[in-house]
Structure 1
Amino acid sequence: MDSEIAKVLRLETEPVALIFSDEKPEGAAQFKAGAPSCVMFMFASAARGNTAVFDRESYACPGGGIGLGFGNAYEKFPGGLPGFCRFLSTGNEKDPAGKAIGEGMKAAGAPAGFVEHFLHGERYKQTPDLANQFVKALPITEVPTQYVVMKPLSKVDPAQEEPVSVTFLVNADQLSALVIFANYDRPGLENVAIPYAAACQVMGILSYKEAQSENPRCLIGLTDISARKNLKSQGCADKLTFTVPFRRLRQMESGVEGSFLQGNTWAGVVE
């Protein structure tokens, strides 16, 4: 499927479609079961033209498992959900059971950065209670298929498969244009949202939720600095994501003709 939006934005990379599937795409990249990594590495690869696939054994980290829609993977985090809530906030060192888990991971040779954050906290939330409220607010989902697939939009045949959402990797100028364009054919001024969540959760479960709404919004993501740190080597240092539920994307694609995206102001920005 071609994207007129991608053309007028002059994207450097492919828009990435997220698809539910019971069939594993031939030749798709996949994390090894249980191997720690970041879902956004696969997103960056898909933006460069490759296909990636995930299942309930290969989602790289608990946040990625939740983000892709494989249930509440935080329950599998060391120390369970309480251990994760302390990890996201103040750390596990002051909890006797949490400290023992952290020291055990250290002795077993776990990555030093992860052990440091497990014991002393990422400090993305001020308290474990606020972290727990964050988890409760997530639209945790069990996708109805065995796999979740990421692939370039150009490789999607809408007659054969329908994405749940499509994510653009954009610079500041392109993001500005997309925010305007998402409000171009709708009333109001909040047709785009910037939720607080992991990068994969914004393009995953939060977009799934929007896809089910009557008037789905577009979502800005990759404000997750852990993901940004991971993707600095992937050419994404100056980029954010802009995720569009597929039904909304069809509407927006049909509105390019006659819009500001064909006007002099936008031409003056991208020239």
Structure 2
Amino acid sequence: MDLEEFKNCLKLENKILSVILSNDYDASCVEPKHRCIISDIDNLDSNDTLKISKDNLKCPGANCGAGFYDGNPQIPGGFEYFLSYGKGENYPTGERVKKTPEIASEMFENQPKDIINNNKYILIKHFKEDDEAQSVILKVNLDQLSVLIYLFNFESSIYDPVYTATSAGCASVFRIPLYESLSGQNKGVISNLDISSRIYTDKDEVYFTVPGVKFKKMLENAGESLLITKEWEKIRKRIKN
């Protein structure tokens, strides 16, 4: 199945994005405008390429989430308190995604490191079949996600090819999926579940972020997969364009 057939079959027009590590960029690239990079991704025009770097991200934690910086996020009062119950008066309100600062700190230490490979930029653009993307983001609803997970695992006998990333939204889209691609483990990641970043996206959508090589395999296999069954056609009819 070619890309256009795939997008039509899954109703994913303008919802598939390439994530490309690079040391070069075209002068026409656009830069982030919003505090949360997820907002820039979700509103990317079909003709634009978004260039992000350690120098143009606006959120104090985004360099860590994107993978440009492996140290602790520079947040007043300490990032470990920000992720838990906060440091107190005159400091940012805690997000309360972790019970204690110690658990938050341990979670960050467990995240993959060294995933940018000395590249200066991450480029995000609408996917084309000749892209050499390290990972691919698919903006999907639950019906689309369910069938894509099965397609993702079409050539494998394992039962856990995909996991959710309970991290910052940007880390779940960049740092963690890029690690899956560059390490060769090639698992898929259900991304952007962080409620702090979900406020910038469609309420019915999540991101399914997969290694670029695996996405091309998904395109190859789509034409003989469950996407050609009557069951999928029934579900497809209830997906809004």
Tell which structure's C-alpha radius of gyration is larger. 1
- Alpha-carbon distance change, 73 to 25 in structure 1, aligned in 2, over 3 angstroms: farther
Q: Given residue 165 of structure 2, which amino acid in structure 1 is its aligned partner? A: P
Task: Indicate if the aligned counterparts of 2:165 and 2:172 stay in contact, CA closer than 8 A.
Answer: yes
- Alignment pair present for 1:265 and 2:231: yes
Aligned partners of 2:45 and 2:72: how far apart in 1? 27
Q: Given residue 24 of structure 1, which amino acid in structure 2 is its aligned partner? A: Y
1:108-161 deviations in Å (ceiling 9; x for gaps): xxxxxxx5xx1x41111100001101110111336222211111003x643xxx
Aligned partners of 2:163 and 2:206: how far apart in 1? 13
- Alignment pair present for 1:129 and 2:102: yes
Aligned partners of 1:136 and 1:125: how far apart in 2? 14
Give 3-state SS (helix, strand or coil) of 1:76's partner: coil
Q: Given residue 137 of structure 2, which amino acid in structure 1 is its aligned partner? A: T
- Alignment pair present for 1:145 and 2:111: no
Q: 2:186 aligns with which of 200, 216, 220?
A: 216
Q: Given residue 203 of structure 1, which amino acid in structure 2 is its aligned partner? A: V
- Alignment pair present for 1:238 and 2:204: yes
**TM-score relative to the length of structure 2:** 0.89
- Alpha-carbon distance change, 66 to 171 in structure 1, aligned in 2, over 3 angstroms: same
1:17-36 deviations in Å (ceiling 9; x for gaps): 1111122223222137xxx7
1:230 deviates by: 2.7
1:157-208 deviations in Å (ceiling 9; x for gaps): 43xxx21100000011101111111222210210111121122211211111
Q: Given residue 221 of structure 2, which amino acid in structure 1 is its aligned partner? A: G
Partner of 1:68: 66
1:7 deviates by: 3.1
- Alignment pair present for 1:17 and 2:12: no
- Alpha-carbon distance change, 6 to 62 in structure 1, aligned in 2, over 3 angstroms: farther
Q: 1:183 aligns with which of 145, 150, 153?
A: 153
Task: Indicate if the aligned counterparts of 1:28 and 1:53 stay in contact, CA closer than 8 A.
Answer: yes
Q: What is the number of equivalent residue pairs in this alignment?
A: 235
Aligned partners of 1:264 and 1:138: how far apart in 2? 41
Structure 1: which 5+ residue stretches go unaligned? 94-98, 103-114
Give 3-state SS (helix, strand or coil) of 1:186's partner: coil
Partner of 2:28: 27
Aligned partners of 2:108 and 2:100: how far apart in 1? 13
Give 3-state SS (helix, strand or coil) of 2:153's partner: helix
**TM-score relative to the length of structure 1:** 0.80
Give 3-state SS (helix, strand or coil) of 2:20's partner: strand
Q: Given residue 218 of structure 2, which amino acid in structure 1 is its aligned partner? A: M
1:13 deviates by: 2.6
What percentage of aligned pairs have identical amino acids? 27
Partner of 1:58: 56
Aligned partners of 2:211 and 2:27: how far apart in 1? 25
Higher helix share: 1
